[in-house]
Amino acid sequence: MRTFSLSLAALALLAPDVALACGGMFCDAAAPVDQAAERIFFFFEPDTDDDGLGLLTTEVQISYVGESAGFAWVVPVPAEPDIFLSNDAMFTAVANNTTPVYALVTQATGSLQLGCATENALSGDFDSAEDGGNGVSVVSSEAVGPYDTVTLQAENADRLVTWLQDEGYAVPDGLELSLAPYVAAGQYFVALKLQSDKESGDIAPIGMTYPAAAASIPIQLTAIAAVDDMPIEVFVYGPARAVPDNYLHVQINDAAINWYDGADNYRDVVGNAVDEAGGQAFATDFSGTAAGSVLSLPSLDLDQMRGQPAPTSWLETIVFSGITASTQLTNLMLELVPPPDGVDPLDFLSCPTCYDVDSADWDPQVATDRFEADVLDVMEGQQDRMEAAPWLTRLFTTMDAAEMTADPVFVFNRDVEQEISATRTATSVERQSAFSGEALSRTLVLADARSIVVPDASDFDALTTLASPAALVIEDYSSKGEPEAVADFTEAAAADAEAFNAGCSDTAAVGVPVLLLAAGILRRRRTG
């Protein structure tokens, strides 16, 4: 279990975040926000009513830099959702616990010769299912955390965009083409904007619960604001391992990983593997039993906090409680107990009682109620959802906007290998000098038993000739049975390693015919 105390994690929480979103997020009508990544959680409760639908909870991490009036977020969903406020704590904790780790174990010898990844009340601005004759029906509207939210249905995409713009949602012209497939499918649309008294720093993750047959990402709408090779991290909680149903799956070539430099090219290797699979594929970062208590929720005496007369002492109770840190918690603490003028927020949170704070307007009852509703209750809901699901799968891909032509769907498959560790290992066997301990030669031994000699013990760049193909196996999964092999380069990769070790001059050409064959196979990829 990995937790963070506020005193240690405050610096990271106060730093600017990477832009993360799902659906369509826009800056203003002229310039869409570049989405540097997407991180989305799915919690799926299987069908219990024999209607083919389960209950899906989706939580999306949103980060945005810009004027608060320029923020808008629109996402299609298959049914009317219940909308609630989420929290960064879960995203950080689970991501840290499941990030792929490439561990290189060194074995040294002196003799071996080796050779050559709170719902508030209704705002009342709209009547349920209102249709003002403009082809847009307002199903519901409510204030959720810092957001004004509205759930809509529309007869056509043009009218939907016009309605959103007229109501102050900063969506760009030209969005109609991306919205049209969802309008035609009769989907609902959830739109968010910040309340008039909120700033962009108040933006928090959002959650939605609705009936659905499977988890799916509205990637076609994401294409509006996607950057090149945008990383997408998907976390699916459910009864078994989750697999992409209408996208391919790749097993990456471990020889392409930069083992000797911290595997810092992992995302690039996955991106190359996905491109080799035609641009629509995922790799599995982790699959295993859902980690139990990944959030630290200490037992705080809320009654005692409600009677705390000193705001800094009240704040220190939280800071040193061991609660999992989050942007929302940091923002709330600084809002309720602002630091004195000129004091750095990080210094203040590190030792609140080291400073004098005006307590004239301090109300510990109001502050504790806010802390309980906005932080504790939200985190407890996240913890309950994680503990209710027996299995967690983390998948990763990178995509360009041009590749976002079909929404990826994820299903559960009990027939395939269920456990995939986030830790991958290889061994570096070194022949060292008996006098200086310096490595005279190295051999990299991968988990699939490939042994690759490093020609120069101090230069590993030569290994890049074995980095292609990046996808060792390309396969097609469904909800039942073993995957269908689309392309398998395992034997070719082993032959490449043998030729490389023997010093063959044509090693780099070995994989070319195989890749050309794969291009032909991929045209016959299952789409159903």
- What pLDDT is recorded for position 458? 65
Instruction: Calculate the average pLDDT of the chain.
Output: 82
| Angle at CA of residue 319, ends 317 and 323, nearest 5° | 100
Q: What does residue 276 show for φ and ψ, rounded to 5 degrees?
A: -65, -25
Nearest in space to 359 (alpha carbons), one of 331, 333, 340: 340
Q: 221: helix, coil or strand?
A: helix
**Burial letters 274-309, b for 16+ CB under 10 A, else e:** bbbbbbbbbbbbbbbebbeebbbbeebeeeebbebe
Please, which residues have CB within 8 angstroms of residue 147's CB and are 6 or more apart in sequence?
A: 192, 193, 194, 195, 206
Domain residue ranges of the chain, discontinuous segments joined by +:
302-388
The model's pLDDT over 29-57, given as tens digits with 9 standing for 90+, comes to 333 333 345 789 999 988 766 667 899 99
Query: For 410-456, what is each residue's pLDDT tens digit?
Result: 999 999 999 999 999 999 888 776 666 666 778 899 999 999 988 77
Answer positive or negative: Cα dihedral of 433, 438, 441, 442: positive
Please give the structure tokens belonging to residue 454.
């490093």
pLDDT, greater one: 370 or 109: 370
Task: Find the range with the poorest average confidence among 349-353, 377-381, 506-510.
Answer: 506-510
> Does this model's pTM top 0.85?
no
**Most distant CA pair in the chain: distance in Å?**
87
Q: What is the per-residue pLDDT across 144-195, written as a single tens digit (0 to 9) for each? A: 989 999 999 999 999 999 999 999 998 888 889 889 999 999 999 999 999 9
Q: Give the mean pLDDT of 307-321.
A: 94
- pLDDT per position as a tens digit, 249-275: 999 999 999 998 888 899 999 999 999
List the beta bridge partners of residue 20. 37
Residues 506-516 have a mean pLDDT of: 36
DSSP bridge pairs for 288: 392
Give yes or no for residue 370 having a pLDDT over 70: yes
Based on the number of CB atoms within 10 Å of its own CB, is 180 exposed (0-12), middle (13-18) or buried (19 or more)?
Answer: middle
Q: What is the pLDDT of residue 491?
A: 95
pLDDT at 506 over 90: no
Token pair 């079909």: residue: 406
Q: Kindly tell me the sign of the dihedral angle through the C-alpha atoms of 80, 82, 86, 91.
A: negative
- Select from 397, 392, 452 the least CA-distant residue to 422: 392
